[in-house]
């Protein structure tokens, strides 16, 4: 069974640039879960304050636990948000592993942004990004 359920990059205006989830009938539910997690992300960003913004850690940690999933968040300096949702029953994934997954995701996202033909704000349609995400999902399954 896959562990990572969805991945999202949000542009600063909070609409999804990329959503990937394990094929399942309750995809919509994951979308809602990720959407609601933005409440916590925004609150965390806003409470850090401007002065601290520079030394703020990008990884936000566990956003909130639900009965079924754990939702983790990560925000880049340009306020692009990444969210990973993991099945609650999966205990093999440690905080450190989640952190490194986000870092990989961030690197890959940077590569996408460096593509001169990519228009920031458009949905991500990059094969490299796709395969990186797929690899990550297989790895953590």
Can you count the helices (H) and strands (E) in the chain? Answer: 3, 5
Among 36, 131, 134, 141, binds other proteins (CB under 8 A): 36
Interaction of residue 67 with other proteins, rule CB under 8 A: yes
Nearest approach in angstroms of CB 37 to other proteins is 8
Q: Distance (Å, rounded) from C-alpha 112 to C-alpha 109?
A: 5
Interaction of residue 78 with other proteins, rule CB under 8 A: no
How many angstroms from the chain centroid is the CA of residue 21? 11
Q: Distance (Å, rounded) from C-alpha 130 to C-alpha 20?
A: 9
Interaction of residue 113 with other proteins, rule CB under 8 A: no
Q: Which two tokens stand for residue 37?
A: 């997690």
Which of 7, 23, 42 has its CA nearest to residue 130? 7
Among 2, 20, 38, 56, binds other proteins (CB under 8 A): 38
Local structure of residue 121 (DSSP, 8 states):
T
Interaction of residue 63 with other proteins, rule CB under 8 A: yes
43 or 57: whose CB is closer to other proteins?
43
**Residues near other proteins, by CB under 8 A:** 13-16, 19, 28, 31-32, 35-36, 38-40, 43, 63-64, 66-67, 116-117, 119-122
């Amino acid at each position: 069974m896959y562990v990572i359920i969805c991945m999202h990059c949000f542009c600063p205006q909070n609409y999804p640039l990329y959503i990937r989830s394990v094929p399942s009938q309750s995809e919509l539910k994951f979308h809602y879960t990720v959407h609601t997690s933005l409440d916590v992300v925004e609150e965390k960003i806003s409470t850090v304050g401007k002065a601290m913004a520079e030394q703020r850690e990008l990884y936000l940690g566990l956003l909130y636990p639900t009965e079924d999933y754990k939702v983790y968040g990560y925000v880049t300096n340009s306020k692009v948000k990444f969210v990973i949702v993991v099945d609650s029953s999966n205990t093999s994934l440690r905080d450190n592993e989640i952190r490194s997954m986000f870092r990989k995701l961030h690197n890959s996202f940077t590569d996408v942004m460096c593509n001169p033909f990519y228009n920031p704000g458009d949905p991500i349609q990059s094969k490299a990004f796709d395969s990186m995400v797929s690899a990550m999902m297989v790895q953590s399954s």
